Amino acid sequence: MQIDPLALDPQTRQTLSGITTATLSTVLLKKGLRNTWLRGTIPLDSNQSRQVGRAFTLRFVPAREDLATPESWSSPISTRSAIEAMPEGCIAVVDAMGVTDAGIFGDILCARMKKRGVAALVTDGVVRDVTGVLGTGLPVWCRGAAAPPSVAGLTFVNWQEPIACGGVAVFPNDVVVVDADGAVLIPAALLDEVVAMAAEQELLETWIMQEVDNGAALPGLYPPNAENKARYEAFKKTR
């Protein structure tokens, strides 16, 4: 059953846009979640900015010759139909099973996603027509590029259902943040708590970095002891 997409609160999006995936993974670890970094999701363009959005999921399974055909691109259950269901601001998260010899999307599909206002494409697979994909301006995190089309190695089966991507369980409407370190998933039910903790952690680390730049030694600073915690609290009051 396909799950209806939800919008992301603009204030939440803005806050997360200022928080690194490294900080988020640390906060999630403190919450007991160790497996939130999607393996193999590398920015296709090293200059891509951080992106934030609700996960809109797509799933492939291994290619089966009677189903994985160019004719399947016209089926009601196709990547084309899935793209038309993507809401503005979402991040398309695609389970490609780690396959690297068949490109799941090319320049035309990515151009349509960009037109629909999709924030980014994240996959543990690869894309094709990589020069054209870069030209669309759609931010992409993936494992690289391959010339063959998806049907050479994969069968598309559905969208907006739970998937695995990069070894992580991704449910529709979870929140994904992507930057130079890759993609990190925030479970939807933990979103508000994680955002609050991450914003505090980011501010603390900003202060610690200032102290390091001023010549402070790390013991007692990172993590801070009682004295430095008091100094940090005084610093917060000045902001």
Locate 77 and state its tokens.
């259950």
Q: What's the pLDDT band for 99 if we cut at 50, 70, 90?
A: very high
> Which pLDDT does position 76 carry in this prediction?
85
Do residues 120 and 51 make contact, with C-beta atoms less than 8 angstroms apart? yes
Interval 16-24 mean pLDDT? 97
Q: Give the pLDDT confidence of 111-126 residue by residue, as tens digits.
A: 999 999 999 999 999 9
Closest-CA residue to 221 (of 234, 238, 235, 204): 204
Q: Give the pLDDT confidence of 55-98 residue by residue, as tens digits.
A: 999 999 999 988 878 888 788 889 999 999 999 999 999 999 99
3-class secondary structure, 9: coil
> Which pLDDT does position 74 carry in this prediction?
80
> What residues contact 65, with CB distance under 8 A and at least 6 apart?
none
Its pTM stands at 0.94
What CATH architecture applies to the domain 10-189?
3-Layer(bba) Sandwich (3.50)
> Which pLDDT does position 66 carry in this prediction?
87
pLDDT at residue 236 above 80? yes
Mean pLDDT score of the chain? 96
Tokens 């409407």 locate to 173
pLDDT at residue 143 above 80? yes
Locate 135 and state its tokens.
């030209």
Domains of the chain, residue spans: 10-189, 193-237
